[in-house]
Structure 1
Amino acid sequence: MCWGESSGAWHATLAGLHAADRVASVSLIEPNGVIARTPWRALLKVIRFGGNTTDEGWRKMAEWLTPGVTMTDVERATAKASQGYRIAAGWARPLKDAELESFAPPLLAIYGGASVVSDPVAARRRLAERLPSAEVEVYPGTGHGVRGQVPDEVMARIVEFLARHDTAVRLDR
């Protein structure tokens, strides 16, 4: 099992793409920029937020990403601490058609229906065309923080997916 959320979805995707023999399945939560392009307006807004790294700036970005959800002090401190992190694997980019078509592990992609950084409609369409075995779940009314907004539903969906695809994983512990 390999899973990732937001930019971590890019890392999980790379593991599934380049080490498929070591990955039983891949679950992606809000994989912005991996299946479908991140909208330009979202990229520009993230850059703008990046210039305002105050607590108020982080609050505004979190509210934009997931309206109605307030960042905790720990989440804000973690986000601030991560500012200097540089991703060795580079930033997410949409998989090429051939990469998507050759993706071997079972794939689950979960999206917030009202996400500002992902395009669930385009992602679902692209997966249906290029990797029809992929499973896509879209939670209406949720944003980029879909796992935090509807944690029981998202985790139940992932556990159900794992139960079907990761035979070595015991989910009854």
Structure 2
Amino acid sequence: MSLIEPNGVVARTPWRALLRLVRFGGDRTEEGWRAMSEWLTPGLTMTEVELANVRAGQGFRLAVRWARPLKDAELASFAPPLLAIYGGASVVSDPPAAQRRIAVLLPGAEVVVVPGAGHGVRAQAPARVVDRVVGFLARHDEVPHGR
């Protein structure tokens, strides 16, 4: 299993981030979405296609609440192998807390924290993230016998 910037699932999303996301959500202008994007992924600019997708989703109403951290037993039940990748400068996750928790509950798991990257770590460090995921999958690619 590969998790890329799984905010709120392993460690709690910081309250200040949730409050800021709510504030950004109230500004549905193009400038508001671009400001939120810059906050989440500093240095990256939304493409016109990405902005069009954001505009298309503005009418969508989320039926579930914010992600809640999995309970210890839930997280520990993940069968290795597991790779979790976080942006070291993420504003919506707590990479050090997630790394500590995964180390305790899933000692065989791999955790990568990409320094300077935010929530959009895959877009900010594409080669590093893709290479790490592909390498991880190659090391754990098991084909059942007889197939």
TM-score by shorter chain over 0.5? yes
Deviation for aligned residue 1:67 = 1.0
Instruction: Choose 1 or 2 for highest CA Rg.
Output: 2
Q: 1:118 aligns with which of 57, 75, 93?
A: 93
Q: Percent identity?
A: 71
Q: Which amino acid aligns with 1:135?
A: E
Following superposition of structure 1 onto structure 2, how do residues 1-173 of structure 1 map, counting pairs within 5 Å?
26-86=1-61, 91-168=66-143
Deviation for aligned residue 1:86 = 4.5
- In structure 1, how many angstroms separate the alpha carbons of the residues matched to 2:62 and 2:133? 26
Deviation for aligned residue 1:76 = 1.0
Deviation for aligned residue 1:28 = 0.8
Unpaired segments ≥5 residues, structure 1:
1-25, 169-173
- In structure 2, how many angstroms separate the alpha carbons of the residues matched to 1:87 and 1:76? 19
Q: Which amino acid aligns with 1:133?
A: G
Q: Which amino acid aligns with 1:143?
A: G
Deviation for aligned residue 1:88 = 6.0
Unpaired segments ≥5 residues, structure 2:
none
More relative contact order, 1 or 2 (CA 8 Å, 6+ apart): 2
Distance 1:155 1:44, change over 3 A: same
Q: Which amino acid aligns with 2:99?
A: R
Q: Tell me the number of residue pairs that the alignment of Structure 1 and Structure 2 aligns.
A: 143
